[in-house]
Amino acid sequence: MKEYQTITEISGPLVFVETDEPVGYDEIVEIDIGDGEMRRGQVLESASDHVAIQVFEGTEGIDRSASVRFLGETMKMPVTEDLLGRVMDGTGQPIDGGPEIVPDERQDIVGAAINPYSREYPEEFIQTGVSAIDGMNTLVRGQKLPIFSASGLPHNDLALQIARQASVPEEEAGGEDGSEFAVIFGAMGITAEEANEFMDDFERTGALERSVVFMNLADDPAVERTITPRLALTTAEYLAFEKDYHVLVILTDMTNYCEALREIGAAREEVPGRRGYPGYMYTDLAQLYERAGRIEGRDGSVTQIPILTMPGDDDTHPIPDLTGYITEGQIYIDRDLNSQGVQPPINVLPSLSRLMDDGIGEGLTRADHADVKDQIFAAYAEGEDLRDLVNIVGREALSDLDNKYLDFADRFEEEFIDQGYDTNRDIDETLELGWNLLSMLPKDALNRIDEALIEEHYREDEPAEEVAAD
């Protein structure tokens, strides 16, 4: 292992070093800054006589006499089942005062792509206990379903509710395949207060023992954020595909991750893409999100719920936009619903789960699920449209049916969506609630539902105002 004291340039998070021996691309670097302090970094560009290094912990205090060592290997994550219950910083060092981690294996943190031929198509329902998700935008094992949120909205409460309540039907039925649920929490640039909120909840509910936590806080170095999700996902893959866990990975906040990418791109003087973000951001994000999935012949699965805050509530901003093109749907948190006090304030109309259609139906959830969902979407969209109109012409000017759609939209928000963060509804409750609401509409307005299902479920009597759901 050769040591160099030949730093030529230090700029932002980057250090340039002259070398006389070849250094591998992506290799890990240790920089001794003099007083015994070590910084770690990674090779971003390797030429025959110099290399560019990005330093994870920041370049503060590094001078040209610092010595640089190339470790001859790419970044690895020590993995073991004992990681469950542990809390680590953004670079994977334990910060919970617990015992040293004795790894079973050390795995490359830049995961190789899963061969599409080796994947298994995700179609097993995960019950989150949240009606807006289970009923309308169902999550399945192996899916990547982000939460599109914005500043000041309660996305963390929703993420915690999902982490607490998520279960798979077979687990409830006794769990014959023995796969357990594990949660991996990767925090990138969140505030200490948010971090406490998560940790308190994990400890209070006992969720910590089935969790692995990676914490990169807002005042930690930004560049470190680019490796935190990779450490989290490497751990997730190990637990899922070698130890048969069903792993739920929550990554928050992807916006901070992308900011870090932009920072590095700018420091390297790259040609920027949209809004200054690097042109390769799509590829980079895909390398994270695509690590969700299932593999044929393995029992475990990796399901991802990345959270991102949309700058200016704008979903055409490059971060939500590129995310939406990679992930299999998205859940929108809505500012208006939030100010109405709806908990969780999920706007189901723009939300989507792409894998839903194969994950619901007879044998998976219930035979009427798809039709009920389609009809609720259509009716709620109709009601939403009419709300604009009613502001102009008033309710009296509308037909009976239109008034029913308006009532439907109101009750849908009040009863179906607004369930509170502590209510855990099973899929039957959610669908029955859906039928209660749909029965407000005349039978022949239910054109998305199979006639036989209408006969079976439609409430002939006036639908009860009060719904016994919780």
Partner 1 sequence: MSQATESDVREDGTIESVSGPVVTARDLDARMNDVVYVGSEGLMGEVIEIEGNITTIQVYEETSGVSPGEPVEGTGAPLSVDLGPGMLDAIYDGVQRPLDVLEEKMGSAYLDRGVDAPGIDLEKTWEFQPDVETGDTVEPGDIVGTVPETPSIDHKVMVPPGSEGGEVSTIESGSFTVEEAVVELDSGEEIRMRQEWPVRQQRPSVDKETPTEPLISGQRVLDGLFPIAKGGTAAIPGPFGSGKTVTQHQLAKWADADIVVYVGCGERGNEMTEVIEDFPELEDPITGNALMDRTCLIANTSNMPVAARESCVYTGITIAEYFRDMGYDVALMADSTSRWAEAMREISSRLEEMPGEEGYPAYLSARLSAFYERAGYFANINGTEGSISVIGAVSPPGGDFSEPVTQNTLRIVKTFWALDADLAERRHFPSINWNESYSLYRDQLDQWFVDNVREDWPETRQWAIDTLDEETELQEIVQLVGKDALPEDQQLTLEIARYLREAWLQQNAFHPTDTYCEPEKTYRIMDAIKTYNDEAVDALEAGVPVEELTDIESAPRLNRIGVQEDWDEYIDELEDDISSELRELY
Identity of the residue, 69 or 298, whose beta carbon is nearer to partner 1 in the bound complex: 298
Q: Determine if residue 61 is left, alpha or beta; phi over 0 gives left, psi from -120 to 50 gives alpha, anything else beta.
A: left
CB of 94 to partner 1, least distance (A): 26
180 contacts 245 by C-beta, under 8 angstroms: yes
Q: Encoding tokens for residue 221? A: 């170095």
Identity of the residue, 210 or 373, whose beta carbon is nearer to partner 1 in the bound complex: 373
What lies within 8 Å, CB to CB, of 341 at 6+ separation is 418
Identity of the residue, 120 or 180, whose beta carbon is nearer to partner 1 in the bound complex: 120
Identity of the residue, 218 or 443, whose beta carbon is nearer to partner 1 in the bound complex: 443
CB of 392 to partner 1, least distance (A): 7
Amino acid present at 268: R
In 3D space, the residue among 412, 418, 416 whose CA is nearest the CA of residue 379 turns out to be 412
CB of 235 to partner 1, least distance (A): 16
Amino acid present at 37: E
179 contacts 299 by C-beta, under 8 angstroms: yes
CA 45 to chain centre: 30
Q: Determine if residue 176 is left, alpha or beta; phi over 0 gives left, psi from -120 to 50 gives alpha, anything else beta.
A: alpha
CB of 151 to partner 1, least distance (A): 19
Amino acid present at 57: E
CB of 341 to partner 1, least distance (A): 24
Identity of the residue, 175 or 361, whose beta carbon is nearer to partner 1 in the bound complex: 361
Identity of the residue, 65 or 118, whose beta carbon is nearer to partner 1 in the bound complex: 118
Identity of the residue, 21 or 466, whose beta carbon is nearer to partner 1 in the bound complex: 21
C-alpha–C-alpha distance, residues 77 and 80, integer Å: 10
What lies within 8 Å, CB to CB, of 237 at 6+ separation is 107, 111, 291, 302
Q: State the CB neighbour count (10 A cutoff) for residue 327.
A: 25
Identity of the residue, 143 or 165, whose beta carbon is nearer to partner 1 in the bound complex: 143
CB of 96 to partner 1, least distance (A): 31
Give the CA dihedral 335, 337, 338, 340, nearest 10 degrees.
Answer: 130
CB of 444 to partner 1, least distance (A): 5
CB of 18 to partner 1, least distance (A): 13
